[in-house]
Amino acid sequence: MFVSRAMAVRIDHAEAALTRSVVEAVLASGRAPGAFLQDLGSGVAAYLRPGSPMNKVIGVGFGEPIDEGALAVFERELRMRGEPVRVELSTLALPESAARLTARGYGLLGFENVLVRSMATATAPVAEVRVERVNAGTVNAWRKATVVAVASSDESGAPADQLSLAEIAAAIEDMLECGNFERYLAFLDGELAGAASMRMHGTVAQLTGSATLPAQRRRGVQAALIAARLEEARARGADLAVITTAPGSQSQANVMKHGFALAYARAILVLPAT
Same domain, yes or no, for 167 and 213?
yes
Domain-located, residue 239: yes
Domain-located, residue 207: yes
Same domain, yes or no, for 215 and 159?
yes
Same domain, yes or no, for 100 and 72?
yes
Note whether 118 and 239 are within 8 A (CB). Answer: yes
Domain-located, residue 46: yes
Class of residue 95 by CB neighbours under 10 A (exposed 0-12, middle 13-18, buried 19+): exposed
The string of pLDDT tens digits covering residues 105-121 is 999 999 999 999 999 87
User: CA-CA distance, 113 to 117, in Å (whole number)?
Assistant: 13
**Count of domains forming the chain:** 2
From residue 183, give the alpha-carbon distance in Å to each of 21, 87, 113, 224. Answer: 16, 28, 23, 14
Q: What pLDDT, on the 0 to 100 scale, is given for residue 7? A: 94
The string of pLDDT tens digits covering residues 211-246 is 899 989 888 899 999 999 999 999 999 999 999 999
The domain of 187 spans 129-263
Same domain, yes or no, for 52 and 93?
yes
The string of pLDDT tens digits covering residues 1-51 is 788 999 999 999 999 999 999 999 999 999 898 899 999 988 999 999 998
Same domain, yes or no, for 87 and 37?
yes
Q: What is the DSSP letter of 10?
A: H
Domain-located, residue 44: yes
Q: 63-84: b or e for each residue (b if 16 or more CB lie within 10 Å)?
A: eebbbeebbeebbebbeeeebb
Same domain, yes or no, for 91 and 146?
no
The 8 Å CB, 24+ separation contacts for 162-170 are: 163/51, 163/53, 164/51, 167/51, 167/52, 167/53, 170/49, 170/51, 170/52
Note whether 269 and 101 are within 8 A (CB). Answer: yes
Same domain, yes or no, for 158 and 246?
yes
Query: What is the rounded average pLDDT for all residues in the chain?
Result: 93
Domain-located, residue 95: yes
Examine the pLDDT at 156 and tell me if it is beyond 90: no
Same domain, yes or no, for 250 and 167?
yes
Q: What pLDDT, on the 0 to 100 scale, is given for residue 15? A: 97
The string of pLDDT tens digits covering residues 161-212 is 888 888 889 999 999 999 889 999 999 999 999 999 999 999 999 999 898 9
User: CA-CA distance, 74 to 49, in Å (whole number)?
Assistant: 14
Domain-located, residue 119: no
pTM, rounded to two decimals: 0.93
Residue 194's CATH number: 3.40.630.30
Domain-located, residue 135: yes
What sign results for the dihedral spanned by CA atoms 208, 60, 17, 73?
positive
Same domain, yes or no, for 143 and 253?
yes
Same domain, yes or no, for 157 and 109?
no
Domain-located, residue 124: no
Same domain, yes or no, for 107 and 144?
no
Same domain, yes or no, for 87 and 159?
no
